[in-house]
Amino acid sequence: MLTSQILRRVLGSLITAGSLRVVLPGGQCLDFGDGSGEPLQVRFTDRAAVWALCLDPELRTGELFTEGRLLMEMGTVYDFLCLVLKHAAETTSGPWRAALDRLRTLSMAP
């Protein structure tokens, strides 16, 4: 499944510490981090939500959460944002970030 491969690339290189489990719409579980800290678990309700988060995480994370398409099953949305933002601040570059920036630009084109 392409969405799981993309999430593995993006979150795998981003989340190196902590414990994050992502449950995809089909039930597949992806684990990220080193298992330390309080475990967090998020669930996507549809494949489009996964793509939306990958293409524009800054905007879509909050929207998906309020729309009920990104569900927090363990931990809070605040915990999730803290984990992701902590690691994003440490990883300011890399091939995945350039690829996401290109995809984001293409997705906004008329």
pLDDT value of position 70: 96
Question: Where do the domains of the chain lie?
Answer: 2-108
> Of 16-20, 63-67, 69-73, 94-98, which range is least confident?
94-98
Q: pTM to 2 decimals? A: 0.78
Could you report how far apart the first and last alpha carbons of the chain are, in Å? Answer: 28
**In 3D, which of 62, 22, 20, 79 has the Cα closest to residue 45?**
22
pLDDT value of position 89: 58
Average pLDDT on 5-32 reads 91
CATH code for 2-108? Answer: 3.30.1050
pLDDT band with cut points at 50, 70 and 90 for residue 58 = confident
Residue bearing the bigger pLDDT, 99 or 33: 33
